């Protein structure tokens, strides 16, 4: 460790002893890394900086950047709930089909469905006589990324519609939904026994078929995009692909990365917006991405920690993977995004992000362990030690003040009865 600190202190490149795998193993399994200051772009650590590797979930930084630049941090997804048919309310029953017009809200859950249910209850609706119909793209709950999502449109509509039906009818709840309700009711100040009991029938269809008039009922708006991205990045949630798909997906992300990298050497390849499967960047390219991300955040009056997690402040897997970054004197010193693959490309562990030195310099860094296989704990701890040595070499790192805590999917979401709704019929 002392050798590492002396080399860093002299400002020369790191050939870190802890970056080596072990006796008798090939040097191509060394850590790859690159770090530089933001003020003068002074290189403070570099080894294999232009060697391509699979960045795994660090790709989510690029996905978040694309979303911020395309949609804006305050943009919201709007899901409209409308009626098709006679649409009068008789004895608590809405006469017709309930149509969900989805806007691909990537972070709609039972808690959001309950916001809608409370508005339906205000209209005196406790059931519908027709079907539940899905228009556009509607999600409820998680699918867990590219590998597990349902690609058949009708099956996906029935899956998501079924979850919505279940959330609105307490008689269909399982233990998990009861627990989620208790937590949400406490946060919102709802009466614990005011659980929704709205029957939506059994049939879920796609498309309302024809040009029949649709009567507005309730509109739901999501959290602002910045909060949604923070939730995805904190939990490294692979369903961030839902954010990327409507704005160009992997192709747009790869194009953005090429623009940012300019003439830097190394392969750039993006096959998924989540970091699943095979993607390619170099450590130097990742750092260039981080600076572009930081600049966009600054222009939008955001801090990178408004989008990316801070160990010691935010939940998720980072405290478990990098315990010394989340506890003790090193807690709250770094804004990071990790990446992990166990099998693809022989496995990889990646850590990238920012910290601010006690001298006031922001340092961006990326460290990766290609072909790490199933020795993830070993390599994560090596990366953690590498980062702590890097902090020591520049005189230490500032500790950040934690924010208000990670948002829930409904923290700033809202649902409202739509003007000229069925209530006016």
pLDDT of residue 419: 60
Residue 229 confidence class, pLDDT cut points 50, 70, 90: very high
On the question of pLDDT at 16 being above 50, the answer is no
- Mean of the pLDDT values across residues 186-207? 92
Lowest mean pLDDT, pick from 76-80, 133-137, 200-204:
200-204
On the question of pLDDT at 43 being above 90, the answer is yes
Contacts with 182 (C-beta within 8 Å, 6 or more apart), sequence order: 192
Classified as helix, coil or strand, 161 is helix
pLDDT of residue 112: 98
- Residue pLDDT, tens place only, 232-252: 999 999 999 999 999 999 999
Contacts with 86 (C-beta within 8 Å, 6 or more apart), sequence order: 95, 96
pLDDT of residue 186: 98
- Residue pLDDT, tens place only, 256-306: 999 999 999 999 999 999 999 999 999 999 999 999 999 999 999 999 999
Q: Which backbone phi and psi does 300 adopt, to 5 degrees?
A: -95, 10
Return the percentage of the chain with pLDDT > 90, whole number: 85
Give the integer Cα–Cα distance in Å for 340 and 13: 26
On the question of pLDDT at 318 being above 60, the answer is yes
DSSP 100: E
pLDDT of residue 23: 26
Structure tokens at 321: 């993977």
pLDDT of residue 205: 86
Lowest mean pLDDT, pick from 15-29, 35-49, 317-331, 376-390:
15-29
pLDDT of residue 373: 85
Contacts with 209 (C-beta within 8 Å, 6 or more apart), sequence order: none
**80 closest CA partner among 129, 111, 116:** 116
pLDDT of residue 234: 98
Describe the crossing of helices 153-168 and 110-122 by its angle, rounded to 10 degrees. Answer: 60
Give the integer Cα–Cα distance in Å for 306 and 386: 25
DSSP 151: -
Q: What is the pTM of this model?
A: 0.92
Compute the residue count for the chain.
425
On the question of pLDDT at 415 being above 60, the answer is yes
- Mean of the pLDDT values across residues 214-231? 97
* Contact between residue 280 and residue 248 where contact means Cβ atoms under 8 Å apart: no
pLDDT of residue 113: 98
Tell the residue number behind the tokens 């315990």, with chain if given.
323
On the question of pLDDT at 420 being above 70, the answer is no
The CA-based angle 375-8-366, given to 5 degrees, is: 45
What domains appear along the chain, each with residue ranges and CATH number? 2-72+227-393 (3.40.710.10), 78-222 (3.50.80.20)
- Mean of the pLDDT values across residues 386-408? 96
Give the integer Cα–Cα distance in Å for 228 and 221: 12
β-bridge mates for residue 363, sequence order: 37, 355
pLDDT of residue 207: 82
**368 closest CA partner among 25, 1, 3, 35:** 35
Contacts with 319 (C-beta within 8 Å, 6 or more apart), sequence order: 311, 312, 325, 326, 327
On the question of pLDDT at 8 being above 90, the answer is no
Helix H segments across 303-399? 318-321, 323-326, 376-393
pLDDT averaged over every residue in the chain: 91
On the question of pLDDT at 145 being above 80, the answer is yes
- Residue pLDDT, tens place only, 72-115: 999 999 999 999 988 999 999 999 999 999 999 999 999 999 99
pLDDT of residue 30: 80
């Amino acid at each position: 460790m002392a050798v590492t600190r002396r080399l860093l202190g002299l400002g020369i490149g790191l050939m870190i002893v802890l970056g080596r795998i072990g006796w008798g193993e090939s040097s191509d399994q060394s850590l790859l890394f690159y770090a530089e200051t933001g003020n003068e772009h002074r290189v403070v650590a570099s080894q294999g900086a232009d060697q391509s590797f699979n960045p795994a979930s660090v790709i989510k930084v690029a996905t978040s950047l694309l979303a911020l630049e395309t949609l804006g941090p305050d943009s919201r997804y709007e899901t409209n709930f409308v009626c098709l048919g006679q649409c009068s309310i008789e004895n608590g029953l809405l006469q017709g089909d309930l149509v969900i017009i989805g806007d691909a809200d990537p972070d709609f859950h039972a808690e959001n469905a309950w916001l809608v249910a409370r508005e339906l209850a205000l209209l005196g609706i406790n059931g519908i006589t027709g079907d539940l119909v899905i228009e556009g793209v509607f999600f409820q709950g998680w699918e867990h990324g590219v590998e597990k999502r349902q690609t058949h449109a009708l099956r996906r509509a029935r899956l998501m519609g079924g979850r919505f039906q279940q959330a609105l009818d307490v008689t269909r709840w399982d233990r998990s939904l009861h627990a989620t309700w208790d937590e949400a009711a406490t946060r919102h100040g709802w009466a614990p026994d005011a659980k929704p009991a709205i029957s939506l029938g059994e049939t879920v269809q796609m498309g309302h078929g024809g040009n029949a008039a649709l009567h507005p009922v309730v509109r739901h708006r999501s959290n602002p995009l910045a909060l949604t991205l923070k939730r995805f990045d904190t939990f490294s949630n692979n369903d961030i692909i839902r954010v990327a798909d409507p704005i160009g997906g992997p192709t747009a992300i790869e194009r953005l990365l090429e623009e940012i990298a300019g003439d830097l050497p190394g392969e750039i390849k993006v096959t998924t917006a989540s970091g699943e499967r095979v993607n390619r960047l170099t450590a130097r390219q990742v750092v260039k991405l981080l600076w572009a991300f930081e600049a966009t955040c600054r222009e939008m009056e955001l801090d990178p920690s408004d989008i990316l997690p801070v160990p010691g402040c935010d939940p998720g897997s980072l405290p478990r993977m990098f315990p010394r970054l989340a506890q003790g004197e090193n807690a709250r010193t770094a804004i990071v995004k990790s990446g992990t693959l166990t099998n693809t490309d022989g496995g990889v562990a990646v850590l990238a992000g920012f910290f601010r030195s006690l001298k006031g310099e922001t340092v961006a860094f990326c460290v990766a362990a290609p072909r790490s296989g199933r020795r993830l704990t070993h390599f994560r701890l090596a990366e953690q030690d590498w980062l702590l040595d890097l902090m020591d070499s520049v005189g230490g790192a500032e500790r950040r003040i934690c924010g208000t805590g990670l948002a829930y999917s409904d923290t700033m979401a809202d649902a409202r009865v739509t003007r000229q709704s069925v209530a006016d019929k």
